[in-house]
Amino acid sequence: MDLIPFIRNIPGFPKPGIIFRDITPMLANAEAFDYAIDKMIEPFVHAKIQKVVAIEARGFILGTVAANKLKAGFVPIRKKGKLPFKTDLESCSLEYGSASIEIHADALKEDERVLLIDDVLATGGTMAAACRLAERQKATIAGIAFLCELDFLGGRKLLQNTIHSVLHF
Ligand code: AMP
């Protein structure tokens, strides 16, 4: 199945010069959505993933379904100030701004096998910060999966682990 027609390109959003990759047409199509998640998790189905860790907000949509399919738990990474319990914090720069992201301090156990998920790999700053949060809790990063990777930004250079992207732009 070709997923490219289900990704809508929005030039100039949220800032001039950015082409926003809008995944909502893919989410709205049951067959495309199901297929996209299967392709994201394909390399990791036998990787004994215990937790899927995903980044607010679009990462949640993909990550919860992926966790369910992998029979793993789900752990949210949220923008600063949203998680109610004690948190660990990291700052990151992204393609169109900067952010601080948090994880609950007790979210991951030592040596727990995690798969990190987000919709788009752009400059890699966000996912690199998410990896630091998981590593600080001594989890084992078994892999990182994206639906879309913006190859021209070279974001994977910031990441050390097995990286899998379904679509490349
Ligand atoms: P980065 O830290 O630069 O890799 O940015 C990744 C984060 O920003 C992800 O959570 C994406 O959802 C979002 N993002 C960055 N660039 C884009 C883009 N061109 N289209 C859609 N989302 C993007």
Could you tell me if the CB of 21 is within 6 A of ligand 1? yes
pTM above 0.85, yes or no: yes
> What is the per-residue pLDDT for 94?
81
Selecting among 21, 56, 90, 95, the annotated active-site residue is: 95
* Residue identifier of the C-alpha nearest atom 13 of ligand 1: 120
Place of tokens 């190859």: 151
Mean pLDDT confidence for 53-76 = 98
For residue 130, give the H/E element and its range.
Answer: helix 125-136
| pLDDT for residue 159 | 97
Distance from C-alpha of 38 to C-alpha of 166, rounded to nearest angstrom: 10
Q: What is the pLDDT of residues 95-145, one digit of tens each?
A: 888 889 999 999 999 999 999 999 999 999 999 999 999 999 999 999 999
Q: Tell me which of 93 and 31 has the higher pLDDT.
A: 31
Cβ 70 vs Cβ 40: under 8 Å: no
Q: Is 77 in the pocket of ligand 1 (CB under 6 A)?
A: no
Q: Tell me how far the alpha carbon of residue 14 lies from the centroid of ligand 1, in angstroms.
A: 11
pLDDT of residue 73: 98
Each residue's pLDDT tens digit, 19-60: 999 999 999 999 999 999 999 999 999 999 999 999 999 999
**pLDDT given for residue 98 in this prediction:** 86
H-helix segments, the chain: 24-28, 30-41, 58-70, 125-136
Question: What is the DSSP secondary structure assignment for residue 93, as one 8-state letter?
Answer: E
